[in-house]
Each structure stands twice: as C-alpha cells, then as structure tokens.
Chains A and B, each alone.
Chain A
C-alpha cells in the first residue's frame, strides 16, 4: 500500500531534497510551501503523515497543526516537525497543538526515513 506524505517547507531546496528521499523509499509525496497551502492540500486529500517546518510565511507549522487537528478525519495522522528551533517551550507548544515528534535540522536522509518508517509503521 502506498502512503502519502505531505512535506511543508518554505524552502524549495528542502522540499526537493525531502521529496527525493521519500520518493526513493516508495512514498507518494505532496508538498506545500506554507501552512495555509498545506491546509488547502489537505482539503483535497488525506495524507498518512505530515512533515512540517515551523517558521513559514502566512501560517506557521504550529498554526497549521492546530487547524489540521480541528478536522476529525485528521485525528491520528502523525505530524512531525522539522525545524532549526530546538527550544523546549516551542516543542511543548507543538505537542499541545497536536504534533507527535520534533526533529532538528539539519538532518540526514537515513534518519528522516527511519522516522517516517517508524511513524507509519512501514
């Protein structure tokens, strides 16, 4: 069964790199450039997992997370933050907003895959 991962990041290069990594591992990848766009995407399809940046124009990661969780169908979809921020306060906020994990940039491909596999149980 193919799974869909939504990658949200305002940096095209990061989106590109993550998309390549995940596609290489057999996932379907959808991308969005900020939280608002990600919400629009989720209106059309339900991802199996979301990897999002925190600092983005229009709607940041936590804002996206909160909005995403208000839709009942989206309960149970794991959201992982991928950010340069590493303060506990903001991690707590993300957790409260509905994120399951927080990874710190930079990351390596193997680790990203391990994490995605883990949350998707692949």
Chain B
C-alpha cells in the first residue's frame, strides 16, 4: 500500500484506530463504514487471521484480525471495539473485508513528508507489513501495509493452517494452485 496524494497539498485522509495498544492508521478512502461488533460465524479450518464471517448489509464479509500477522497480543474486545469495513485489494481484485479495531478514533490528515520510512532495526512489527510511520497528537502512528499483509496470507498459508493433517492426506485431490 502506498500513500496516494489526495489533495493539492499532497496530504491524505487517514483513519486512526487503536489496535493491540498501538495507534494505527489506514487510508480513509478504503474505509466503507465502521460497525459496532456483530455476531461472527466461525469458519472451521480457517486461519486465525480470518477466523470468521459477518453479515454487512446482506453481504457475507470475512472478518480479519490484524493482530495475528502483526504479532500483537490478543485481548478480548472492549466496549469501544469496532469493525472497520474496508476495500482491500486481494489477488488483483477489490475485496470487502472487516477489520477488528480496539477503538476507532478519527479521520485526520497526515503530511506524507512527515511520515518516515520504517526504521529497519528496533521495529516491533515485521517490516514488510508497515508502509510508513508518522505522528498524530504526539503519538507514533503506524500505517500497516494491508495489501502486503493480505497477499502474504494468500501466498503463505492459504487459510488452511489448522487442518494441516487433513490437508496432507488430501494432497492429491487438492493441488496447491499458484
């Protein structure tokens, strides 16, 4: 995910949210809506990262937890927990995905000039999953690279991690497809 200049100043609108005790931000242009937590249907055999499905206005939408790939501690949802419904490019097409947040703060404007490249050492997150870091109200804001996170997920473990035994047994019937 790159930051697209969206106005003449080169600033972009970002939505800041809290996740695993950190402040993160994603482009507001990708955000469709913010929902109160809703009932999720667990998908048996799915990876923890995309463990379930929710109903968003008659559409079945996968619900994902960024804390899994980012290696953050996972705590039960608090009273400010929300679901951000976002458009995310997956396998070359736009996919609607719900993303869990501990709280959603506000839409703000961030000057890309003031965003820093991710330091290669000392970062808590896998570096390739972060597109930039910036500052917001004195706090460090991390911009996760959603496209990379989701692409990596599809390339890597394909959502079938917890049924590995069965996978191996059915290898012949279910070839990996590139």
Do A and B interact directly, with beta carbons closer than 8 Å?
no
Seen from chain B, the residues whose Cβ lies within 8 Å of a Cβ on chain A are none
Seen from chain A, the residues whose Cβ lies within 8 Å of a Cβ on chain B are none
